[in-house]
Structure 1
């Protein structure tokens, strides 16, 4: 990056700076020395931490995987301090040589015969935040136009991302994915190092610190086999309701994740959590609650919240539905769509509330609840159930909200919709608009949940403009061979979409499966009804042959947010120069008063930019085909 002349000039500028006064970095004395005014170089170190994930140019894997690199260049000096062109060129820091990481193992590809769902457009340019053309760019210190980067480029001439920490937007409630029954089965029976997998996902120090899970209530499309929570039918009073499949197959992994997120997995006698939980459900619940309480007591304040969950059913029990099937349709009678029978509205509300109570009994935080997953996608492959806005409004206002209140669960956020930005029947958020037209339902819901498979994320901004007091959460976004494929496409396209979600008022972003195998399974319903594997992709891919785990691009995309943007952070305003078409970005203010900027560069060339925070400019180089997170003290 530096020529020999620049290196000599740079060395001359910094060799007299005391190593303890410049972020603890040691510099070597050299013969090119001269007297330097220390005040002129007080900004020699950038004061910014930068973590980068970068795709290989041949799309065979990742070149860098959340690698922390040195931020080269200087921050603009305070007002009134002048430097000449030559002096400015001498300021800065020498970059460390960065060795590329070894190539990651690529998951076995499979032929994709599945029709791709309509994908949301990458619409960050139409986000709710203003662009540079819509705002006045703040002025930096009066003399900063004389500041030059180590490349001899005037800093003020660089394209800028201006972070406005005073423009507080939505609160962040978490980032994560879903521990489906398929994921839990792989973790329990296939993964060679299950404890390490948990740490990589949920530990806020050793891993990426996932903080939000969306958990299916009953079977989803990713299960090893069908199961039910109600043994008898019809059972209007739910006397045969028991959650054995959830407790035996899914909760052990969920509790291990909770302990890791609280940094309490080694509490007690030092054994991993799953080894310490008795098979007795009563003992298991008590142990989980004790571990959660102890971990919350001992964890640092910013790490005490642990995991949050959003619970979502794919279908009501089959006997509650009009088509008498857990599926949304039967291929022999496609006109007969499965809907919730009105006579079972109260039973279904008690069914959902009982699941929430189960998680609470295990010490888990149920943050949100949706009436049904994808109510406009009742089909014949996996469990699903249709629900109109009018049906959902009546169910929420008259049954679900009163039942939660009766159980002392008013703090659980009821989220309407839980489907795409647009569907053919409900374009541009029409379902939510109709749902909110019912006053009782509007009062009962905390907001709306969204998926990214169709339409544009700007729909969420239009909903926010009309109902600013209602929350917005993105609860599902999956990768796979039908969409953004590993590696480059997944890294760049998925990160662009996540950035667009957050710029359009999303308070959380939850991807789909935490882990799947190399075929996109376990996927019982796909094989049974579609005669092919799902071709979905989890954050992790598990090799059934040897139990090894590959971290996919999706893992790093969500990790660039979850690791640095804790619960309680707020999205803040940011605007970019108009000459950065290949760079998307979003900024946050954390509870400990740090600023975080997440930016991707989809161009094949590096992009030199300046990040402006108040009167300070910091030059940054975004590597080609990369996703970067930058963190600095406010």
Structure 2
């Protein structure tokens, strides 16, 4: 059953911002008028600007009829968008994650360069990202370890603070809130959700102290290996999260979603982390957190961990009065071994059809020059086809050494969209362009549709994949994102409604087609039958497609990994600072 716009907005309307599709091509104000194609090569090149990066490609051509099988020059791939019965979930958006590393390197930019990088990330002339995560307290992408109420000499070593009189988001939380508010000035309809990596140490079971005033024994075997939440502190954590939401609001930032714990089953890292059982998570939500967040316009997103434990979010939903009560969404990560099994999201959707789902974290770790890299697309498309309304990669920006990051562990090689090189230069990585293949063209309120035929073949366990997702934007157009890791260019015939569109999806690329609303196919400059030959006479016309040609993919030059890892292996687009007055007028290409 297709969820209506009211269903999505009923969940999101608890927040203060307007619920609705706006802000970019495919919304009501910026309709798609002609067929278009955009291509990003998967090759991480060692030569700057030698690959296609969100580059316009030959648009698909509208056919008069389904082409004969003899007309294909390359293997034919028939992709069918089920526009009759295939409408699925509505979309919120795509994006990245705000971390202390991102805030730190962005604060080191001069004003003009910062304005430009924010436009590149969030502006309608840039990636137009609309689904963003941020860290509550420190993470592994933080140079310092902290929470918002450590109340002691250092992280994880404080005394209990039963009335949270020592709560403060200073200095790191306020720096993050101030930076995020600048994002909101560029793009006002971002869905922002927060995730903590750890609660204050005094709320955990460990062996550092006993809390006699609260009559709460806080003893344990070891403060890392027994790094788990003590549910006696549920009232304090409800207040903690409420104070955090309120504090960010004073900085002009409305948080829209909350996961009670990042990776709640991960508790042995040297960086901030904590074990939070599904029972304790449900009790925390049911005993005050759910209502406190809903009162503040914040949805609750359960789990925030890998696909190998799908029972966790199901138990949280059931333990918080069931679907439609206090838990609004399930959040998933990509790190299950050997690969993420996103099909569990379809099972979850069957059980909880009106609960939102998101892919909230996946990282691109130490990508190597000279190789193909599909990390973004292979963890954006499958979650959407299995029910996700949005997806976010891990870490928006770092320095050239993938930091600042925790010295004690965590992701010391996570690539983001942006590498800051100096106070007035930065690099757009290949991940920037890969995320843009989704965030630039999929609007909030778009509806995902089932893709049939040859649209999805292979999976992450094998060497070859062809993935397709198709969403209908609010203007009636379709954005069709295809990942071709099949080993050869693919001659695609796309069935949309009553028409057929044909074009080549180059090998080793992510390619997005924009198909106008059907009523515009012949009236707004889209040449119908533009890729056909007509034969016959006496009024009898038959149509067959001609062979579509395209220049060889620049990604085909190398598939061999290099032995050495550079700090920034895919420096493809370095931006120099421009004057403040020129920022608004001068837009960088790409």
- Say whether the fold is shared (TM-score over 0.5): yes
Higher RCO, Cα 8 Å, sep 6+: 2
> Given the alignment of the two structures, is residue 477 of structure 1 paired with residue 362 of structure 2, yes or no?
yes
Q: Which moved more, 1:603-612 or 1:173-182?
A: 603-612
Give CA deviations for 1:558-612 in whole Å, capped at 9, x if unaligned.
1111111011111112123389654211000111211110001114432211111
Q: Distance in 2 between matches of 1:472 and 1:258?
A: 24
* Cα drift, residue 358 of structure 1: 2.4
SS at match of 2:267: coil
Change (3 A) 1:622 1:318: same
For the 8 Å contact 1:611–1:618, the answer to whether it is kept is yes
* Cα drift, residue 219 of structure 1: 0.9
Q: Distance in 1 between matches of 2:506 and 2:140?
A: 38
* Cα drift, residue 230 of structure 1: 2.5
Change (3 A) 1:317 1:49: same
- Residue in 2 aligned with 1:446? 328
Report 1:30-41 matches (<5 A). none
* Cα drift, residue 145 of structure 1: 4.6
Q: Distance in 2 between matches of 1:60 and 1:449?
A: 37
For the 8 Å contact 1:221–1:383, the answer to whether it is kept is yes
> Given the alignment of the two structures, is residue 158 of structure 1 paired with residue 101 of structure 2, yes or no?
no
Aligned length: 456
Report 1:589-604 matches (<5 A). 589-604=472-487
- Residue in 1 aligned with 2:548? none
For the 8 Å contact 2:77–2:490, the answer to whether it is kept is no
Q: Distance in 2 between matches of 1:346 and 1:160?
A: 56
RMSD: 3.0
Give CA deviations for 1:283-342 in whole Å, capped at 9, x if unaligned.
xxxxxxxxxxxxxxxxxxxxxxx21111111111111111278xxxx9994884222222
- Residue in 2 aligned with 1:189? 108
Report 1:43-54 matches (<5 A). 47-54=34-41
> TM-score, with normalisation over the residues of structure 1?
0.67
Change (3 A) 1:570 1:68: same
Q: Say which of 535, 543, 551 aligns to 2:421.
A: 543
In terms of fraction of residues, the more helix-rich structure is 1
- Residue in 2 aligned with 1:358? 247
Structure number with greater Rg is 1
Q: Distance in 1 between matches of 2:190 and 2:187?
A: 7
Q: Say which of 362, 370, 375 aligns to 2:264.
A: 375
For the 8 Å contact 2:122–2:128, the answer to whether it is kept is yes
Change (3 A) 1:360 1:57: closer
Q: Say which of 60, 63, 68 aligns to 2:56.
A: 68
* Cα drift, residue 231 of structure 1: 6.2
Report 1:16-415 matches (<5 A). 47-56=34-43, 63-71=51-59, 74-77=61-64, 141=65, 144-145=66-67, 153=71, 158-166=76-84, 167-190=86-109, 193-204=113-124, 206-230=125-149, 232=151, 233-246=159-172, 248-262=174-188, 306-323=189-206, 333=222, 336-404=225-293, 408-409=295-296, 411-415=297-301
- Residue in 1 aligned with 2:313? 432
For the 8 Å contact 2:456–2:467, the answer to whether it is kept is no
- Residue in 2 aligned with 1:515? 397
Q: Say which of 300, 305, 308 aligns to 1:419.
A: 305
Q: Distance in 2 between matches of 1:251 and 1:487?
A: 38
For the 8 Å contact 1:487–1:552, the answer to whether it is kept is no
Q: Distance in 2 between matches of 1:315 and 1:244?
A: 17
- Residue in 2 aligned with 1:622? 505
* Cα drift, residue 67 of structure 1: 0.7
* Cα drift, residue 55 of structure 1: 3.6
- Residue in 2 aligned with 1:461? 346
For the 8 Å contact 2:455–2:466, the answer to whether it is kept is no
**Structure 1 segments unaligned to the other structure (5+ residues):** 1-45, 78-140, 263-305
Change (3 A) 1:385 1:200: same
> TM-score, with normalisation over the residues of structure 2?
0.71
> Given the alignment of the two structures, is residue 571 of structure 1 paired with residue 448 of structure 2, yes or no?
yes
Change (3 A) 1:224 1:312: same
For the 8 Å contact 1:155–1:619, the answer to whether it is kept is no
* Cα drift, residue 632 of structure 1: 1.7
* Cα drift, residue 421 of structure 1: 0.5
Q: Say which of 349, 370, 383 aligns to 1:501.
A: 383
Q: Distance in 1 between matches of 2:335 and 2:54?
A: 27
For the 8 Å contact 1:610–1:618, the answer to whether it is kept is yes
For the 8 Å contact 1:178–1:512, the answer to whether it is kept is yes
Q: Distance in 1 between matches of 2:362 and 2:226?
A: 25
For the 8 Å contact 1:331–1:380, the answer to whether it is kept is no
**Structure 2 segments unaligned to the other structure (5+ residues):** 1-32, 152-158, 209-218, 459-464, 518-590
- Residue in 2 aligned with 1:86? none
Q: Distance in 1 between matches of 2:35 and 2:163?
A: 59
For the 8 Å contact 2:248–2:255, the answer to whether it is kept is yes
Q: Distance in 2 between matches of 1:485 and 1:323?
A: 41
* Cα drift, residue 248 of structure 1: 4.0
